[in-house]
Amino acid sequence: MSAPWRSVFKQAGECRWEIPVSYKEGMSVPGLIFASESMLDHIWEEHVFQQVANVAFLPGIVKYSLAMPDIHWGYGFPIGGVAATRVKDGVISPGGVGFDINCGVRLLRTSLTAAEVRPKIEALVAALFSAVPSGVGSTGNIKLREKELDKVLINGSRWAIEHGYGEPRDVTVTEESGCMKDANPDKVSSKAKKRGIPQLGTLGSGNHFLEVQAVDEIYDKDAAKVMGIHDTGQVLVLIHTGSRGFGHEVCTDYVRLLGEAARKYGINLPDRQLACAPVRETEGKDYLQAMACAANYAWVNRQCITHWTRQVFQEVFGKSYRELGMEQVYDVAHNIAKIEQHIIDGKKQTLCVHRKGATRALPAGHPDVPDIYRDVGQPVLIPGDMGRCSYILVGTDTAMSETFGSTCHGAGRVQSRAAAKRSQRGSDIAQALAARGILVKAESMSSLAEEASAAYKDVTEVVDVAHRSGISRKIARAVPLGVIKG
């Protein structure tokens, strides 16, 4: 029997499935899903393709409403969604960025090996857990006044470096150099600032984590070497967090404001969570300036956590972090909207690219790729779940021409939180992982149960689709040794 999705999805190349414009009245471009055939059953059953179709309603959207291979059901936009709109007559949607603005991933390398780290992993994980505040509503150790918060919001990572959290080189290997230029704190509500002040320098909860990992496979030795990754067994640190309550409040405020704006501009939307306003009108500009503040907050957040991670390694291994080779490989944002130049039908256009659970993936030679990676392409960091593995990829020319320079961002959930919790207890998960040599320390055992491996798609399957379809290229894989979670 033919699969039911065949009535809607038309194959459009290797791992590419098109939803035609005729599928739903109001779509102005087709949908395009990057997936293996075996992923389509779930995409169909979950109805997430409806969300891909809904995004195609956004005024000014060009080419396709895109879904990366880790696509799963979101609210309004799908998670794993990419949409580019023309700046001259298109819209910007806060829902296309998400509540956790500039949720992202940072990778640090070390010159340590798994054999050197394993005997000390308990002390290391315990020290990281106490140095990096985590958990629901966690508050940090950075004391800020509102005036100082404004400097964080305007300067991003540079603020952190000037205050002793990290070193100048870190900024050179951070997307946007850790600072979006249009940030304007006057466009941020006092509520967002009130949520943001105590939470700077915290990991938070949910799927956020800090993981000590070991490289277990290298696919491209030369590219890995450029990233300072030389051998299997080499220890890395992956940090996954975002803009905390600050970003959540910015999004909450602007979904409401842009909902009113959408009515004012007569924009017809199939889902209120897709609230949007023209990029060039006041409401759209205001959101971009507030979003930039939240993006900068998130980069400072990851920068401070980087600093404490280095301090912990220094204490545990009795050497300076420089001696331990703790340099930053890269830092990516995977919930963000940016004004970018892309070639559409042979013509250069200025677009607002929304990446909602999607990672920028620029090819070798692109001017926005840091000098050291100019010949290999921008590193793309894909966290898996705590029981499996994470990947390092690079961007490609195919991504540039087909996905506005974007790829997947993670594994993508397949199981609801309640179902995950019913099937396994947090303490059992921690024990099972310990038996496999993975030490987990979490603020809440319930939260751990909700983040069980079984709740996620296999990240390997997701990354394989990204690699096979050509929208990014695999460089290396790492497996967890120790994890701290909220």
Partner 1 sequence: MDTEKEFEIIDHTADIGIRAYGADIKQVFQRSAKALFSLITDLDKVAEVLYRDIELAAPDRESLLVAWLNELIYLFDAEQILFRRFDISRLDGTGIKARIYGERVNKAKHELIRGVKAATYHMLKIEKSNGYIAQVLFDI
Site string for partner 1, 5-44 (x = CB under 8 A): ----------------------------------------
Cα separation, 377 vs 259, whole angstroms: 38
76 or 104: whose CB is closer to partner 1?
Answer: 76
Q: How far is CA 176 from the centre of its chain?
A: 14
| Helix, strand, coil share of the chain (percent; to 5) | 40, 25, 35
Cα separation, 246 vs 101, whole angstroms: 9
C-alpha pair distances (Å), 73 with each of 10, 78, 84: 21, 5, 20
Q: Are 381 and 466 in contact (CB under 8 A)?
A: no
- Region from 81-89, 134-142, 179-187, 429-437 binding partner 1, contact rule CB under 8 A: 134-142
Q: Considering the rule CB under 8 A, would residue 240 count as an interface residue with partner 1?
A: no
Q: Considering the rule CB under 8 A, would residue 204 count as an interface residue with partner 1?
A: yes
Number of neighbouring beta carbons within 10 Å of residue 278: 22
Name the amino acid, one letter, at 485. K
**409 classed as catalytic:** yes
Contacts with partner 1: how many residues (CB under 8 A)?
Answer: 48
- Region from 84-92, 132-140, 156-164, 477-485 binding partner 1, contact rule CB under 8 A: 132-140
Which of 12, 21, 46, 281 forms a contact with partner 1 (CB under 8 A)? 46
Cα separation, 54 vs 68, whole angstroms: 16
96 or 377: whose CB is closer to partner 1?
Answer: 96
Q: Are 379 and 331 in contact (CB under 8 A)?
A: no
Q: Considering the rule CB under 8 A, would residue 149 count as an interface residue with partner 1?
A: no
Which of 96, 98, 140, 395 forms a contact with partner 1 (CB under 8 A)? 98
Cα separation, 473 vs 477, whole angstroms: 12
Q: Considering the rule CB under 8 A, would residue 118 count as an interface residue with partner 1?
A: no
251 or 399: whose CB is closer to partner 1?
Answer: 251
Q: Are 359 and 139 in contact (CB under 8 A)?
A: no
Q: Considering the rule CB under 8 A, would residue 275 count as an interface residue with partner 1?
A: yes
Cα separation, 113 vs 234, whole angstroms: 5
Q: Considering the rule CB under 8 A, would residue 76 count as an interface residue with partner 1?
A: yes
Q: Considering the rule CB under 8 A, would residue 450 count as an interface residue with partner 1?
A: yes
In the chain, what is the straight-line distance between the N-terminal and C-terminal CA atoms, in Å? 45
Site residues (vs partner 1, CB under 8 A): 46, 72-76, 79, 98-100, 135-137, 139, 191, 194-195, 198-199, 204-206, 245, 248-249, 251-252, 255-256, 259-260, 271-273, 275, 413-419, 443-444, 446-447, 450, 486
Catalytic positions, please? 409
